[in-house]
Structure 1
Amino acid sequence: MLPQEIIRQKRDGKALPSDDIAAFIAGLTSGAVSEGQAAAFAMAVFFNGMRREEAVALTLAMRDSGEVLDWSDLPGPTTDKHSTGGIGDNVSLMLAPIVAACGAYVPMISGRGLGHTGGTLDKMDAISGYVSQPDTALFRKAVLSSGCAIIGQTAALAPADKRLYAIRDVTATVESIPLITASILSKKLAAGLQSLVLDVKVGNGAFMEKSRDAASLAKSLVEVANGAGLKTSALITAMNEPLASAAGNAVEVVNAVDFLTGRVRGPRLEKVTLALSAEMLLSAGIAASHADGFAKAREALDTGRAAERFARMVHDLGGPADFIERSAGHLPQAPVERAVRAGRAGFVTHIATRDIGLAVVGLGGGRTRPGDSVDLAVGFTHLLPLGAEVRPGEPLAMVHARDDAAADIAGKALAAAYEIGEVRPAAKDPVVRRISATETY
């Protein structure tokens, strides 16, 4: 069928047959489908949606547009996690080695930051010598040696997604749940996984600010992934404050090393990391229950086995052999470090989390377009959480900047993002909800 006929059917609200979807994506990959036609298709899907069967067909067609990895020679299950993005979300850096230390293999293909959220790949790029986009041979070698490898998407994996996302990004169709679902899952299916856990963020620092939108996305992802043959579940986790006490790239790597070695572990970050680890171990068949998975993850973390896996992964992918012991010496550091101080006494009652992410971008630590360069050294550390008590002049955070002028601007933005009140807000569980193919709670 002609591309314009497929577009017309979806424009008119009709369900597309799987063969038509496959033909359209094959044309997108080969260049037979123009950018204008792809934009029209994306807009038609944006307004009319897709049935579950259509979303599965779209996901599989995008998966099959390129290479599909095969890990059947590994002596254990392959599993992964994907986060929809937030501020201070460095969970992948701890989670991958925790799960690997428990006997699973985690070939984690991650993305770069865009907009107000940070990207895992940018964090790994901050490590001196680390090869974040290796060839397939080095990727496989690292996974077999370390049990995990955090890398970026190669050109061979789901190339149709890369082209369609670039078009969606400039045509105001990014927020379409079927298109988000296919984009995320096509890459994970191409990675050859046996199971997947999704971390769907909700709150003022997430792309999905409302609970119903986050639940809709999580359900779509879980249902389509399982429909495509990938065992998948999701946790909805809160993003109404930075997850870690750091936001940036190198500063979040330092935070991750502190977490793995036990020097500093923020309670919210620890809860989310262990909950996702437990979910992955259960999904991979290594844990018999969530409680068992949580205990196994805790033991891998507390004994130092997870830190050892992380150190091995960094070295296997070109980084320094002593990174855990001397991380500060192998990461870029901003020349200006300054406290951002509270103007009054009280408790932190609200944090405009997205604004903190935008302040990191303003420092140069993020990008607004895919090709932008990133200053890997800048960001914030020692971010106070909700409920923290402060006195006038005490630090809300430390800003790490390239120069004094940038530090001034970022410091003002961060101070404005914090609200101080007289009553400490009640603490809330950062794990909001679990969604699987058969149950929710």
Structure 2
Amino acid sequence: MLPQEFIRAKRDGKPLDPAEIAAFIGGFEGERVTEGQVAAFAMAVFFNGLARDETVALTLAMRDSGDVLDWSGIGRPIVDKHSTGGVGDNVSLMLAPIVAACGGAVPMISGRGLGHTGGTLDKMESIPGYSVTPDNALFRKVTDEIGCAIIGQTGRLAPADKRFYGIRDVTATVESIPLITASILSKKLAAGLQGLVLDVKSGSGAFMGTEAEARALAESLVAVANGAGLKTTALLTGMDEALASDAGNAVEVRNAVRFLTGEHRDPRLQAVTLTLAGEMLALVGLAESREEGLAKATTALSDGRAAEIFGRMVHALGGPSDFVEKMDAHLPKAELVRDIVADEGGVIAAVDTRALGLAVVALGGGRTRPQDPVDHAVGLTRIAGLGTELSKGDVICSVHARSDADFEKAEAFVRGAYRFGAAPTERPAVIARFEA
């Protein structure tokens, strides 16, 4: 297979043979396929797309570029979820232990934040001592004995995707549904899952801005995953406002622990978390239906089993043994906590959720480049949501910052994010079920 002829075929809109796709991706190793050729192929796909079978072949080839985890011998079904990201989306922290409490095994391989979206790994690294890079033996042991482990991607898991994405990122070819699909699913397939539930978001804080775009991505992901042999379903969820009332790293961990213990549960966050859990349990046969799965997940949350499992997972991966009971003694805190208040009364009619995420980045709690460090202590709490009626002087949100200057930068983003109206507005549904 000559890389240039392979690229020419896709440039001219001709179908690609699965064996040729595998050979092209195999050429990433040792750079037998050059960076320029990868970029040219990405651009050809950007304009001409890929058929479903071609996307399946690309996904499998990227999966097979590295290790594929083997969970044989573990007496639990292996299931996970993937979210397309947003602001205040700490669902993974509660979802993994809830599903584990119901008999599932959740080897959750997560990512870091980039741009305005938060990253699960950055949140978990707020916990002193917690290791997001355990060796495979410990990862397997924790998943087997406790039921869940939230860690980061190793260098040997779908390494072709890492190279491919890096080139797409600098060649304006990220926004291609087939390439997004292959990127997401190659890593999930390499994780050795038996079931996957996707949380595809739309709205002002989501990667896919409209529900139509989110539906198109969900359709592609579900079709390709099932075509590659992984049982997969999807939910469409809204990101027209922050999902939790807190956004940042340590502040979202604190929110998650309060959720698990029942101290405080944001209603929209609870709806998404429990619906995803019910979907996961039904998908791998731990419940007869979504409704039964939802009921089991709700019980595991309310009776404290999920909180106990979260605490055990944290300790098994190096964190404090009393983290759930004494999280405030362990989590980092910002020096300055100051409220942003409404200058006048009104009803919150719209929120630019992306701007809220950028406020966290301005505080140092996010990154614009993968190599940037993050400040785990900073963030936003008590974030007011759509439809909230505020009087002059009421709190829009609280800012956790390191300095007055950082507070002022975040305040500018927050004030620019909110639009007020005179009359109450209907809050949009947070879940729009997707049917493939």
Query: Would you call these one fold, judging by a TM-score over 0.5?
Result: yes
Separation (CA, whole Å) in 2 of partners of 1:331 and 1:394: 28
Which AA in structure 2 matches 1:249? N
Separation (CA, whole Å) in 1 of partners of 2:208 and 2:313: 32
Contact 2:121–2:151 (Cα < 8 Å) also in 1:
yes
Q: Which residue of 1 aligns with 2:112?
A: 112
Q: Which residue of 2 aligns with 1:349?
A: 349
How big is the shift at 1:163? 0.7
The answer to which of 50-59 and 325-334 deviates more is 325-334
Secondary structure of the 2:192 match is coil
Q: Which residue of 2 aligns with 1:95?
A: 95
Contact 2:251–2:378 (Cα < 8 Å) also in 1:
yes
The answer to which of 220-229 and 361-370 deviates more is 361-370
Any residues of structure 2 matched to 1:371-386 within 5 Å, and which? 371-386=371-386
Q: Which residue of 1 aligns with 2:58?
A: 58
1:20 equivalenced with 2:20 (yes/no):
yes
Separation (CA, whole Å) in 2 of partners of 1:62 and 1:409: 41
Runs of 5+ consecutive residues of structure 2 not aligned to the other structure: none
Secondary structure of the 1:196 match is strand
Q: Which residue of 2 aligns with 1:435?
A: 435
Separation (CA, whole Å) in 1 of partners of 2:338 and 2:180: 39
Which AA in structure 2 matches 1:411? E
How big is the shift at 1:330? 1.4
CA RMSD of aligned residues (A): 0.8
Secondary structure of the 1:435 match is coil
Aligned residues: 436
Q: Which residue of 2 aligns with 1:413?
A: 413
Contact 1:200–1:237 (Cα < 8 Å) also in 2:
yes
Contact 2:142–2:313 (Cα < 8 Å) also in 1:
yes
How big is the shift at 1:376? 1.1
Separation (CA, whole Å) in 2 of partners of 1:282 and 1:140: 23
String of CA shifts for 1:100-127, please: whole Å, max 9, x gaps: 0000000000011111111111101111
Contact 1:344–1:420 (Cα < 8 Å) also in 2:
no
Contact 2:341–2:393 (Cα < 8 Å) also in 1:
yes
Q: Which residue of 2 aligns with 1:439?
A: none
Secondary structure of the 1:396 match is strand
How big is the shift at 1:30? 3.0
Separation (CA, whole Å) in 2 of partners of 1:53 and 1:277: 30
Separation (CA, whole Å) in 1 of partners of 2:134 and 2:105: 17
Any residues of structure 2 matched to 1:149-168 within 5 Å, and which? 149-168=149-168
Separation (CA, whole Å) in 1 of partners of 2:10 and 2:428: 42
Contact 1:66–1:157 (Cα < 8 Å) also in 2:
yes
Separation (CA, whole Å) in 2 of partners of 1:146 and 1:4: 49
Which AA in structure 2 matches 1:164? F
How big is the shift at 1:146? 1.3
Which AA in structure 2 matches 1:180? I
Secondary structure of the 1:163 match is helix
Contact 1:101–1:147 (Cα < 8 Å) also in 2:
yes
How big is the shift at 1:138? 1.1
Contact 1:341–1:415 (Cα < 8 Å) also in 2:
no
Q: Which residue of 2 aligns with 1:213?
A: 213
Which AA in structure 1 matches 2:274? L
Contact 2:278–2:294 (Cα < 8 Å) also in 1:
yes
Runs of 5+ consecutive residues of structure 1 not aligned to the other structure: 437-441
Q: Which residue of 1 aligns with 2:174?
A: 174
The answer to which of 228-237 and 348-357 deviates more is 348-357
1:11 equivalenced with 2:11 (yes/no):
yes
1:77 equivalenced with 2:77 (yes/no):
yes
Separation (CA, whole Å) in 1 of partners of 2:389 and 2:197: 35
Identity among equivalent pairs (%) = 64
Q: Which residue of 2 aligns with 1:330?
A: 330
Contact 2:363–2:406 (Cα < 8 Å) also in 1:
yes
How big is the shift at 1:210? 1.2
How big is the shift at 1:428? 2.5
How big is the shift at 1:177? 0.5
Contact 1:222–1:435 (Cα < 8 Å) also in 2:
no
Secondary structure of the 2:434 match is strand
Secondary structure of the 2:400 match is strand
Contact 2:215–2:434 (Cα < 8 Å) also in 1:
no
Which AA in structure 1 matches 2:49? G
How big is the shift at 1:412? 2.3
TM-score (ref. length: structure 2): 0.99
Q: Which residue of 1 aligns with 2:298?
A: 298
1:257 equivalenced with 2:249 (yes/no):
no
String of CA shifts for 1:175-198, please: whole Å, max 9, x gaps: 110110000000000000000000
Q: Which residue of 2 aligns with 1:202?
A: 202
